[in-house]
Amino acid sequence: WREDNGVPPELIHDTVQFWLKTYDWRAEEARLNELPRFETPFEVDDGFGTLDIHFVHSTSSVADATQLLFLHGWPGSFMEIIKGLPLLNKAGFHVVAPSLPGYGFSSYTDKAGFDIRQHAE
């Protein structure tokens, strides 16, 4: 790797060192396990079968709270909303944050041709 390729060797070295010596997977795992996480089967049209869709459902204690669907981008994750959940719940929102098919803890189809139309279902 060289800088003219876009990645300086020092950055690669520092990143590897961070993952080896600093990053604490068990702390992240504990944080994930604190979330109200669920899975539900979802049948996709056009023969793509049933996908298990993972989602976080964080509820508000506010009476008549509004439902809010948070969809992550590509390449993203439901984890993008974690810091915002307490604020949104306090402001009166029930938040549902799914992992898109093939991301995070959601399954994906083996059939070719799965595209944005099936994601939109």
Q: What is the pLDDT of residue 7?
A: 80
Beta-strand relationship, 49-58 and 37-44: antiparallel
**Across all residues in the chain, what is the average pLDDT?**
91
Which positions ≥6 away from 98 have C-beta within 8 Å?
53, 54, 55, 56, 69, 71, 78, 106
Q: How confident is the model at residue 26 (pLDDT cuts 50, 70, 90)?
A: very high
DSSP states of 47-82 as a string? TTEEEEEEEEEE--SSTTPEEEE----TT--GGGGG
Task: Pick the closest to residue 102 from 119, 82, 81 (CA basis).
Answer: 119
Q: Distance (Å, rounded) from C-alpha 88 to C-alpha 117?
A: 29
Give 53-68 pLDDT, tens digit per residue: 999 999 999 999 999 9
pLDDT above 80 for 15: yes
Give 85-100 pLDDT, tens digit per residue: 999 999 999 999 999 9
Does the global pTM surpass 0.85? Answer: no
Q: What is the pLDDT of residue 3?
A: 62
Q: What is the pLDDT of residue 64?
A: 96
Q: Provide the Cα torsion 89, 30, 69, 108; round to 10°.
A: -170
Biggest CA–CA distance in the chain, Å, is 57
Q: How confident is the model at residue 2 (pLDDT cuts 50, 70, 90)?
A: low
Q: Find the mean pLDDT for residues 19-40.
A: 94
Of residues 34 and 74, which shows the higher confidence score? 34
